[in-house]
Amino acid sequence: MKTTVQNPDLARFVEAGTLYLGAPEAAELVRRHGVAACIEAIAANIRADFLRWADFDKTARVAAHSDVGVIELMPVADAQRYSFKYVNGHPGNTRLGLSTVMAFGVLADVATGAPLFLSELTLTTALRTAAMSALAAKVLARPDSRVMALIGNGAQSEFQALAFQHLLGITELRVYDVDPAASAKLVGNLQGSGLRVTVCASTAEAVRGADIVTTVTADKRNALILTPEMIQPGMHLNAVGGDCPGKTELHGDILHASKVFVEYEPQSRIEGEIQHQPADFAVTEFWQVLRGERSGRDSTDQVTVFDSVGFALEDFSALRFMQQTAEHLGLGERIALVPPLADPKNLFGSLRATTAVAA
């Protein structure tokens, strides 16, 4: 006799299997809910989850590096839910017609280990990265910030632009990419957004006059996208592209002249802009600012840096949103990711043919 399952998510899993949200369905979800609304909702989830930071079992992501890219697993859990994300980063993929970043993830029930939700996370990662960037800037940047420079105009750029427009009130975007076609793509995609977009001939030109500078470049190497002479008092720097060992975007002197914030320090020490800094280089974990345990920006003229590498808790927050919204909109399908067994102790019996042969 089966015991009645009290957890609604687990009850649906027992009855019909894992909810699967594929890439086409995720895109439909975002179209129907709206890009800005999705980013805002994910940002709200991230804020709520960061405020209960101590509730989570956290670890730096597990990475397999090669000469051409990286493949990573990003796990995190609280007492009710476990999540992980599989994600790669291969800058050369576009030559093969593949995305630089591809991802999927799972939300599971801690009490049973049941995989409740399996989802694409390529599109969702772009949404949650933008949500995290905008949330950090809302807390750390000057409240009167209206102009943002966006360096790197690839797959993440439109999401970053819309996040800063809708969550911070950015009205003007100054953009630069080494590939002019990427900037043209960005301009085309932002038509009708209400943002005033200026394509610049260099990083230095784009940064000039900006209140916020977001760097989201893809090359897997140490680079100097921003150098000290480009930085003006009061700027907020949102460094997104430096997200693995050997890959940075900021000159080290910028960090020494700024107040630096990170997501999860043990991971950022390995992968972030601070990877080449001594172990005693001072940083503040962002959750501490949200909880009021540490200060954020200390003055109008202070330069702040959010050294963002992406952390598993942000994907946990995004997966919660995608699952809830998919169920609300009736999107996705139930799949037998785990074998349905009449007798849970008889896995071998599932190999028997179930179709009777006609006499």
Active site residues: 243
Structure tokens at 45: 């989830």
Strands (E) located in the chain: 18-21, 57-58, 62-65, 70-77, 81-89, 103-109, 115-120, 147-151, 172-176, 196-199, 212-215, 222-226, 236-239, 248-250, 259-262, 284-285, 304-307, 333-335
Distance (Å, whole) CA 313 – CA 311: 6
Residues 6+ apart with CB under 8 A from 351: none
Residue 275, Cβ neighbours under 10 Å: how many? 18
Distance (Å, whole) CA 1 – CA 17: 19
DSSP character at residue 205 = H
20, 107 Cβ separation under 8 angstroms: no
